[in-house]
Amino acid sequence: MAKKTIRDIQVKGKKVLVRVDFNVPLKNGEISDENRIVQALPTIEYILTQGGKAIVFSHLGRVKDESDKASNSLAVVAKRLSELLNKEVTFVPETRGKVLEDAINKLKDGEILMFENTRFEDLNGKKESKNDPELGKYWASLGDVFVNDAFGTAHRDAASNVGIAANIKDTVAGFLLEKEINFIGGTLENPERPFVAILGGAKVSDKIEVIKNLLKVADKVLIGGGMAYTFFKAQGYEIGNSLLEADKVDLAKELLELANGKIVLGEDVITAKAFDPESEKNVRNVTGIPADEMGMDIGPRTIALFESFIATAKTVVWNGPLGVFEFPRFAEGTRSIAQAITEIKDQATTIIGGGDSAAAVIQFGLADGFTHISTGGGASLEYLEGKLLPGIECVDNK
């Protein structure tokens, strides 16, 4: 169902509430990856150039007690947003109250304000995360219209998305949320074929429903990363000290049977005797992993096999790295597959489903070679599972 976007409403002269996902990683008080901020810029810039008064807010990190406040303040994000927009961003270190209300009322057309971490409200009984009705109503009262552009929290039923939407006349999608709906949702509904899905990461349990859903729509599902070893075990192979979810072996057998040949696991792996960046690497057949070694990456024959499916694909969706890409010695599989996907950009729609795989391609300098890199981790997974996401469902239909 088509959702209303920011293009469908008038924002000039209006107080525009903008829920963004600025839950960025911080190291020593500095932003280490600003991709989520950059991805939200088109929506914010549109509101400002159209003469709207932008009131921007987000959560950041985990806030369990008062001591977490200092390290999870959005002040550093507001400063970086100001630099990226080349425009002053008024930061209000409050989540409610007269100081915030007065600052909003002082905004002129084309000006922007950001208020403090919405998760600070969770210190008073999980009011944000549990969608407290009073809080959603209060935040809605601060604006005239609501733009949800936070795909990263779209799988959450929170006061800052669903709660506001229930208490305001107009709720629309920002440009980033619109992209996520069109690329991930649209691809699953009507993919151009061949459609190749690539799944990695550590655990089968994280991807069970994703695998089941993709088996309905994809032509091939290529599986690597730590989760592959549970499938190898299900095939009767010894996997040494490789990552294993012993309680999911029977499920892996069921998925292989259900797949009817759609699941591709590869032929060889890179192993090491220790989970260490300097550990010596070995190439092993999947049928012959020594008892004292563990899988760390997909092997060269598996890379070539995966590349052969990618080369002819018209749609590729990838979620999860294929090896321990954080260690350069064991990054070749993930890097090679990322490179192979960039080489078909002109002929295919290529989507990365957020999380570690997105971090990997950004680390490799290959981000520009993809059609779309999702800003959602858990949200991307649940969307790929075919679930309805509260943060999307609450947006007005066209």
Catalytic residue annotation:
36, 203, 355, 378
DSSP E strands in 266-352: the ranges are: 268-272, 282-285, 294-298, 315-319, 349-352
Q: Which helix (H) or strand (E) holds 360?
A: helix 355-363
3-class DSSP state for residue 16?
strand
Query: Do 145 and 9 touch, CB atoms closer than 8 A?
Result: yes
Phi-psi region of 219 (alpha: psi -120 to 50; beta: other; left: phi over 0): alpha
Residue 153 is classified by DSSP as G
Dihedral sign from CA coordinates of 252, 257, 262, 266: positive
CA-CA distance, 223 to 206, in Å (whole number)? 13
Distance, CA of 247 to chain centre: 27
**Partners of residue 198 on adjacent β-strands:** 222, 318
Query: Do 234 and 249 touch, CB atoms closer than 8 A?
Result: yes
Please give the single-letter amino acid code of residue 243.
L
CA-CA distance, 208 to 385, in Å (whole number)? 9
Residue 344 is classified by DSSP as T
Q: Which two tokens stand for residue 393?
A: 């469902």
3-class DSSP state for residue 242?
coil
CA-CA distance, 93 to 96, in Å (whole number)? 9
Residue 194: is the preceding peptide bond cis (ω within 30°)?
Answer: yes
Q: Which two tokens stand for residue 321?
A: 């790295």
Query: Do 24 and 150 touch, CB atoms closer than 8 A?
Result: no
165, with CB counted inside 10 A (0-12, 13-18, 19+), is buried
